[in-house]
Amino acid sequence: MEADTAAADTADTVLCAVEGRTGVITLNRPRALNALTHPMVLRIAEALTGWERDPGVEQVLIRGAGDRGLCAGGDIRAIHDDAKAGTRASAAFWRDEYRLNAHIARYPKPYVALMDGIVMGGGVGVSAHGSVRVVTERSRVAMPETGIGFVPDVGGTHLLARAPGLLGTHLALTGSAVGAADALLCGLADHFVPADRLPALTAELAGAPAREVLGRYAAGAGPAPLAEARGWIDHCYAAGTVEEIVDRLLGSGEPEAKEAAETILAKSPTALKVTLEAVRRAAALGALEPVLEQEFRVSCNALTSPDLVEGIRAQVVDKDRSPRWSPATLGEVTEQDVARFFAPLAGDGPGIAAG
């Protein structure tokens, strides 16, 4: 009975249907901003595998229920409870989630993601690796993990490492959300479509290929604010350490750079240093799947870090917005502390690519 109930719950939280020639996935937890659970990840993966083999399905569309966003990320309350209990449910979730991210990236049919509204963390993972990524004037795209003592995952370090100049490093450390124009600039999206055109776009996709339909709906997104900030961003984030980056930001004379420094200094010192190392390693690794393997090691090792539990407590559980990081300052985080996050995992079975 419990298994039947779980299956029914998953069917309600991920709606899968074929509309004409398009397989449509709707994340259906609008009250939770469509946050992903492990059963939801498995349901999406199952649908994609089935449609991959179905000649009647020519493309896939993913969207979020409600008008607030595609997906705000993973269920971090569950991760908090898992880390606090010292159990391994999060590792199993991440393994399947990262395999899904890799599957989306190599999907042989057009994969259209409607990145309307809030698209953060795991929401980026199920959208920004797709082949056709649509943003709107309501889009707010971010990898905000450093604010909860965590590190960008779901292939986020891969995406951010590929952004022009050092824009990705800026977004990774600050966790800042970007709008449509900056998402396009950073390579996180491909097309801008006004939100009020999405219903008509979706309806047309049932009968025609995305490459034909999008031309009738896409528009200009306007100027990208980050393009004007490239000068100070590229200079400041080229520094060797997080401490040096902050010093450059504070000394640049740019008000926005000072704001970035203050934002960074509010994040977990350990997560910041691991994030900088992770993005730089991702740039060297190049391909997505090796980066996902790296992210899996980092995420699993983060489960034993006090900052992950503390960050989620402060931001989501108690909502006092006053995390007590340990260590409390950047200077106290050693190279050995950072290296621990990249250490191999023992007895974890096949890797991400095995999915």
Q: How far is it, in rounded angstroms, from Cα 173 to Cα 168?
A: 9
The token duo for 317 is 């559980």
User: Quick check: 355 pLDDT over 70?
Assistant: no
User: Quick check: 4 pLDDT over 80?
Assistant: no
Confidence at residue 260, expressed as pLDDT on a 0 to 100 scale: 98
User: Quick check: 8 pLDDT over 90?
Assistant: no
pLDDT tens for 245-287 read 999 999 999 999 999 999 999 999 999 999 999 999 999 999 9
Confidence at residue 7, expressed as pLDDT on a 0 to 100 scale: 42
Supply the Cα-derived Rg of the chain in whole angstroms.
20
Round the average pLDDT of the chain to a whole number and report it. Answer: 94
User: Quick check: 9 pLDDT over 80?
Assistant: no
Confidence at residue 171, expressed as pLDDT on a 0 to 100 scale: 98
Strand partners, 24: 17, 61
Q: What sign for the dihedral angle of Cα 336, 264, 268, 286?
A: negative
Give the pLDDT band of residue 3 (cuts 50, 70, 90): very low
Give catalytic residues, as residue numbers.
74, 122, 145, 153
pLDDT tens for 330-353 read 999 999 999 999 999 876 555 676
Confidence at residue 11, expressed as pLDDT on a 0 to 100 scale: 66
Confidence at residue 194, expressed as pLDDT on a 0 to 100 scale: 98
96 vs 11: which has the higher pLDDT: 96
350 vs 41: which has the higher pLDDT: 41
117: left (phi over 0), alpha (psi -120 to 50) or beta: left
For the chain, give the percent of residues with pLDDT over 70.
95
